Structure formats: C-alpha cells, structure tokens
Amino acid sequence: MAPKPSKPPVRSNKNTNIVQKIYKKYVNFKFVKYLILDPAALPIVSVFILLAELLLNVFVINRVPYTEIDWKAYMQECEGFLNGTTDYTLLKGDTGPLVYPAAFVYIYSALYFITSHGQNIRLAQYIFGVIYLLQMWLVLRLYSKSRKVPPYVLVISAFTSYRIHSIYVLRLFNDPVAILFLYAALNLFMDRRWTWGSICFSLGVGCKMNILLFAPALLAFYLINLGFLKTVLQLAICGLGQLVIGLPFLLTHPWSYIKGSFDLGRIFEHKWTVNYRFLPREIFENKYFHLTLLALHLLLIIVFARPAVSYFKNYVRLRALQDMLQPQLAQQNKRIKENKVNKAKSKAAPLKPKPNVEEKLTPDQEAFLHSFEKSLQKSTGLKGPIKPANEPVNNDEAEDDKEVSIHFDQCTQLALLPFFLCNFIGVMCARSLHYQFYVWYFHSLPYLAWSAEFSLGLRYLLLGLIEFCWNTYPSTDFSSFVLHLCHLILLFGVARTMFKTINQSTTVRKHEEELIQKSAASNGAKMKAKKQKHN
C-alpha cells in the first residue's frame, strides 16, 4: 500500500496580518488628517520636510544663478587675517571694512581653504545647503517639542519662501551661520544642557552681533532656572568664549577689534533698508532717531518682562514636576512591558500591575496635570489627551497594554515664546533691516502667529504680507509701511495672549489659595467641634 503523500506545510499568515495592520493603521483618512493638522505628528512630517528641502536646495543651486554680494569681500577680509594682519582697521574687502567678530573670521577662513581661496562657489553653495538643512532640523525639533503649530503650516512656510533659500545658497551670507548657532543653543537650553548652550550662544554672537537680541530673555531664563550663582557661571562661560575667540586681536589691537566688531553706532545706507524706505534720508541717518528706537526697544523689553518671567517660572515648575513623575511613569511602563512579554509567552491574560502606593499620584499632582493638559490643549487646539509624539491613538490596543505617557516637552511653549518675542522686538526696533536680516526671525514667525489669538485667515495674511515685503526689491514706501503694520499687529496679538494668560493664572492661583484657606478653616472648625464634643 503506497504511503499517503504528506501535506505541504501551511504557510503562516503572520506577514499578511502585519501588512494588513499597517495598511489599516496608516492608509486611511484619519492618519492623513493627523499628519496634516496635529502638531504631535511633526516628528514624522519633519523627515519628509528635510528630504524635500534637500532636493529643493540641490535644484536651486544647480538651476538658479548665483549672485555675488558679500562672498568675495568675506574672502578678502579673511585673506588679510591669514596673511598675518590682526588690526581690524586694515582688514577690508570690496564692500568696506570687516565689521564682524572673530568667530566669523575663523569660520570663513576655513571656507577660504575648503573652497580653493573662495573660487569654488558651487562647493560653498553646497556647504550652505547643509547649513540650511541643519538649521531646519533644529527648528523642527523645537516645534516638535512644543506642539504649537500644525505641520502643514511649517510645510507651507518652508517651501514658499524664496528669500530664505536665496539668503542661504545663493548669497552665502554669514547671518545663517550665526542663526545656526543660536538655534543649537536654544535646543540645548530646552534639553537643560546649560554649558553647551552657553558655548553655542557665545559662538553665535562671535559670528554676528544680532544674536544679542536674545540676550535679555536668556538672562531671565538663566536666573529663573539656575539662580544667581549658576547664572554668573554661565555668563562667565559666554564672556570667556568671546575672550578666547578674540584673543589674537585683543592681544595686538584691542580697541580696533572691539570698535570694529561690536560697533553699536554703525550707520547703514538708506538705499538698502527694507523697513524705513518711507523716511527721508536725513531722518533715517539722524542720531536722535536711532536713540528713539533704542529707547522704544528698552521700553518694550521692560513692558514684556513681567509676562516673560511668569512664563519662565511656570516652565520651571513643570520641569520640576517632570523630574518628580518620570521615575514613577518609567516604573509603571516597565511593568506594562513585562506583562506584554508574559502574555506573548504564555498566551494567557495579562496580569494586572500590583498596586504600588509609591506610584500613585497625589490629588495635587493629578489636579495639576489635568490643569497642565487643559491649558496646553487650549493653546494648541488639541482636543484629546496628550498623546505620544510618534503615532495617533490606536483603539485596537487593550487598555491594560497602553503605556503611560505625558509629553512634558510641550511645556517648552512657555520658554520659546519669550525668546522669540524678545528677538522680534529687537527686529521691530532695528534702525535698518537688510534683506539677509530676514533670517533673524523668519523661523519664529509661524510660532508667533500661532501664539496670538487670531483667526486662521489673519495669521496667513500676516505671514504672506511679511514675505511679500521681504521679497519686494528694491523696497518701496508701501512695502516698508506694510512691514511695520504687520509687525505691530503681530506684537499686539502676542501681547494680548501673554497678558491674558498671566492674568488668568493669577486669578486661578488666588482661587486655589481661597479654597485652601476655606478647607483649612473648615477642618479646624470640625476638629474644634470634636474636641468640644469629647469634653
């Protein structure tokens, strides 16, 4: 009798099930909507933005003609330094004397050698393309932490600004290098890596003096986070950085270096101004006009000091809460993961985590977390609870298998807004804005617009008009006036939001204190009544 033919092994449907799960989870309208509208999706969207920007910058470099403005002058100034000259009055190019601090000299001296004495322009463009991508990554990282702005807004702003791409890869200005160090410093400060942040901030100032526009906010941030003594230490690191990079010049011609690289009285040419084209040249160059702008700058800094300090204090409060709760959350998630492993091995129902008194939150902690989520959801537009940053809610997961997650980094909203506002005020009150100065605040404009309680249409209108003004060449009376108008409207919107927030915080705090006092009084009365009854 012939043996029965063996049946072919049944193939597992495991791979098919995985594909079906992926298709069901990600290929649907809900997930697309999540990617477009939910700020929590920014870590995913950022990858596509950076890849698209890589292709776009390569296209611009190869298809759009390079325009010579300052690159040749930069190379001439650095060539003088490389030949042994350390007197800033003698370091000159076709556009005039060297007016930037020593870090600029070192960085562009390195570019001088890399680009064959500045002759290989195409290579320099690709280097600035890399700088642009690094800058975008740092910016997107801050936006991802804060969950303030929807992803589609950043996609639109990134790909529709011809002026920004031009500043980086078609003009090769030093402003992008300084801003790169600034955003590196902001990221490090948000990660609470203070010393490295101070070093990057000092390097940014060493490239161009405009980074000092962030200094008032940074000083307050230091004091509130670190206290007086540690603030002095960080300021010493910033100052020591300037001494180290300027040492070759300070040892030989100190006054010419200080006057040349940190000249606060420098007068810009009226023909290049973007913001004050409507003023006559006589007024534009008048020193009293400059003093008036300086006084206005200081006044606005003083006016916004109170809300900025309030924001920073609440940021520190939330970070302290994070330090307190994260070990408990990590322990709870560890138990959940262990349950998942046991379930996979035994194919049995997962064991419920054993109650642990130490893992439970106090009523005050739970109330504060609820208040934290509610306030941040109101500011971001999120309706549901704060979710993990990497994916939307998955309803298929068992409730017991869900890991506990609180996106504490969302509190960076409270830190970033004062920084961006401080710089924005400085740009508003600047004596003159040249076209390359757009990069000073471009990446913070969506954040400021979404920090104001404006309609969606007004936000887009403001960003569009600001872009129009910076793309109008040469500037006109109309474009300069519109730019100032947009700045004023944006400042008013942010101011209204900030002062409204701190007033609400004060009201809530007073209400909480009243409830505590009433509760204490009630408890005291009960205790007194019990004692009288016992006696």
Of the candidate ranges 137-146, 410-419, 508-517, the one whose mean pLDDT is the lowest: 508-517
Over range 280-295, report the average pLDDT: 93
Q: What share of the chain is helix, strand, coil (3-state, %, to 5)?
A: 75, 0, 25
In DSSP terms, 97 is beta-bridged to 92
- The CA-based angle 335-362-381, given to 5 degrees, is 85
Q: What is the number of H-type helices and E-type strands within the chain?
A: 21, 2
pLDDT band at 369 (very low <50, low <70, confident <90, very high): low
Distances (CA, A) of 159 to 45, 52, 236, 323, 401: 14, 9, 40, 38, 40
pLDDT at 396: 45
The mean pLDDT of the chain is 85
Residue 358 has pLDDT above 50, yes or no: no
**Strand boundaries in 409-488, DSSP class E:** none
* DSSP, residue by residue, 43-54: HHHHHHHHHHHH
pLDDT band at 508 (very low <50, low <70, confident <90, very high): low
* pTM for the structure as a whole: 0.84
Distances (CA, A) of 403 to 142, 335, 340, 443, 512: 24, 9, 11, 34, 31
**Is 46 a domain residue?**
yes
Over range 444-456, report the average pLDDT: 96
CB 453 within 8 A of CB 496: yes
In DSSP terms, 154 is beta-bridged to none
| Domain enclosing residue 130, as ranges | 38-254+287-321+411-509
pLDDT at 403: 61
Residue 523 has pLDDT above 60, yes or no: yes
End-to-end CA separation in angstroms for the chain: 103
User: What residue type is 470 in one-letter code?
Assistant: W
pLDDT tens figures, 152-195 = 999 999 998 889 999 999 999 999 999 999 999 999 999 999 99
In DSSP terms, 92 is beta-bridged to 97
pLDDT at 526: 64
**Is 335 a domain residue?**
no
Over range 290-315, report the average pLDDT: 95
User: Nearest CA to 489 among 463, 519, 511?
Assistant: 463
pLDDT tens figures, 464-474 = 999 999 999 99
In DSSP terms, 96 is beta-bridged to 93
**Is 263 a domain residue?**
no
pLDDT at 323: 83
Residue 385 has pLDDT above 90, yes or no: no
pLDDT at 514: 62
**Is 448 a domain residue?**
yes
pLDDT at 25: 73
pLDDT tens figures, 245-278 = 999 999 999 999 999 888 777 777 888 899 999 9
Domain count within the chain = 1
pLDDT at 21: 72
DSSP letter assigned to residue 160: S
Contacts of 238 (CB under 8 A, 6+ apart): 198, 201, 202, 205
pLDDT at 356: 44
Contacts of 101 (CB under 8 A, 6+ apart): 205, 206, 207, 208, 209, 242, 245, 246, 261, 262
**Is 535 a domain residue?**
no
**Is 460 a domain residue?**
yes
More confident residue, 367 or 324: 324
Residue 394 has pLDDT above 60, yes or no: no
pLDDT tens figures, 88-115 = 999 999 988 999 999 999 999 999 999 9
**Is 332 a domain residue?**
no
**Is 352 a domain residue?**
no
Of the candidate ranges 316-325, 358-367, 376-385, the one whose mean pLDDT is the lowest: 376-385
pLDDT tens figures, 52-67 = 999 999 999 999 999 9
Return the percentage of the chain with pLDDT > 90, whole number. Answer: 65
pLDDT at 384: 42
Phi and psi torsions of 39, nearest 5°: -60, -20
Tokens of 434: 């040249």
Distances (CA, A) of 507 to 172, 402, 514: 50, 36, 11
pLDDT at 533: 65
